[in-house]
Amino acid sequence: MTVKIVPATEELVTEIEIWLDAEEAEYDRQYREWEAADYEGEICVRGFRCNWDSVKRGWRAGRSSLDVLIRDSRAIGFLDGYDILEVHPLERGKGYGRILADFMVQNAWDDGRSVVEIEIAPPSALKFWESMGFTAVHGRRGNGSGIYAYKIMPRPLGVPNGHQASYAVEFYTPDAKYSGGAPFLIYAGTGSVTGEGCIDLPERVFCFSAAISDTYDCFAKVKVGDEIVFFDKVKRREATDVGFKTDHGYVYYIEKISLRRT
């Protein structure tokens, strides 16, 4: 038995659509029976056939990736970027979902992301995603109304060597900044001073909190020793000068503090 993940082809997309159609038809049948029984009992979990047409459009237009899990040349699951993961109804409970989820997390790592953010739907999938190391934020919904969940991707950068300097990076919401409130996230440690007028940090520092849905307008305070070298919004050009960048998940991060000014 050969199991592997491959980029989608039109042939594989057609094969997936056949079993998605069958799954949707079975759901519709059970729903009608459930409705006739005055909503007593349970019905099967609905699949992602309702999203499939938009998945195909995005993939065909090159806006998103679509990968297919095949076993002995048969399509038994698919992954739409970081948005949708589904396994054939008859192949569930055999570890194939974990293979696709591991593949997604590895892609995120290779893509340089600091955090993987997903929506969990249906709710019955919550236990699976928690077993994959994701933290669900109950009460917070994603854009597609699923349960919001995330997985931090720590990125250690090495042990400081040579001349060292202490640093601290703090992140503030606009309200906290203007009212003199506390930061929502603090990093502090010791970095290595380079001959280029920079301090190499021992880990990636990034602006993320599951409690804040949008960090675009957040402020960062960067201290080296007792000196504040930057205190402004992370989206400003001056933030770039001090070393802030954005990863492919649009999360602001810094790995090297520049003490020079352009």
Position 217 in a domain: yes
Residues 135 and 173 in one domain: no
Residues 204 and 251 in one domain: yes
Question: Domain residues for 147?
Answer: 114-153
pLDDT by residue for the chain (262 residues), tens only, comes to: 799 999 999 999 999 999 999 999 999 999 999 998 888 888 888 899 999 999 999 999 999 999 999 999 999 999 999 999 999 999 999 999 999 999 999 999 999 999 999 999 888 899 999 999 999 998 887 776 789 999 999 999 987 777 899 999 999 999 999 999 999 999 999 999 987 889 999 999 999 999 888 898 999 999 999 999 999 999 999 999 999 999 999 999 999 999 876 5
CA dist list (Å): 49 to 23, 56, 257, 262? 8, 11, 47, 52
Helix ranges, the chain (H): 10-36, 49-60, 96-110, 126-131, 174-179, 237-242
Q: Which of 41, 48, 44 is nearest to 80 (CA)?
A: 48
What b/e string do you get for 112-147 counting C-beta neighbours within 10 Å, with b at 16 or more? ebbbbbbbbbeeebbeebeebebebeeeeebeeebb
Task: Record the pTM.
Answer: 0.90
pLDDT at 104: 97
Position 158 in a domain: no
The crossing angle, in degrees rounded to 10, of helices 10-36 and 49-60 is 160
Position 74 in a domain: yes
Q: What is the CATH number of the domain that holds 95?
A: 3.40.630.30
Residues 102 and 118 in one domain: no
Q: Which amino acid appears at position 213 of this protein?
A: S
- Whether 234 contacts 185, CB under 8 Å: no
Position 21 in a domain: yes
- Rg over alpha carbons for the chain, rounded to the nearest Å, is 23
Residues 202 and 230 in one domain: yes
User: What is the layout of strands, in order, in the sheet containing 245-246?
Assistant: 227-233, 219-224, 164-172, 185-193, 198-206, 252-258, 245-246
Position 91 in a domain: yes
Q: Which amino acid appears at position 77 of this protein?
A: G
pLDDT at 261: 60
pLDDT at 43: 80
Q: What is the number of domains present in the chain?
A: 3
Q: Which residues contact 132 (CB under 8 A, 6 or more apart)?
A: 98, 101, 102, 105, 151
CA distance 162 to 242: 21
Position 66 in a domain: yes
- Whether 222 contacts 191, CB under 8 Å: no
CA distance 72 to 91: 13
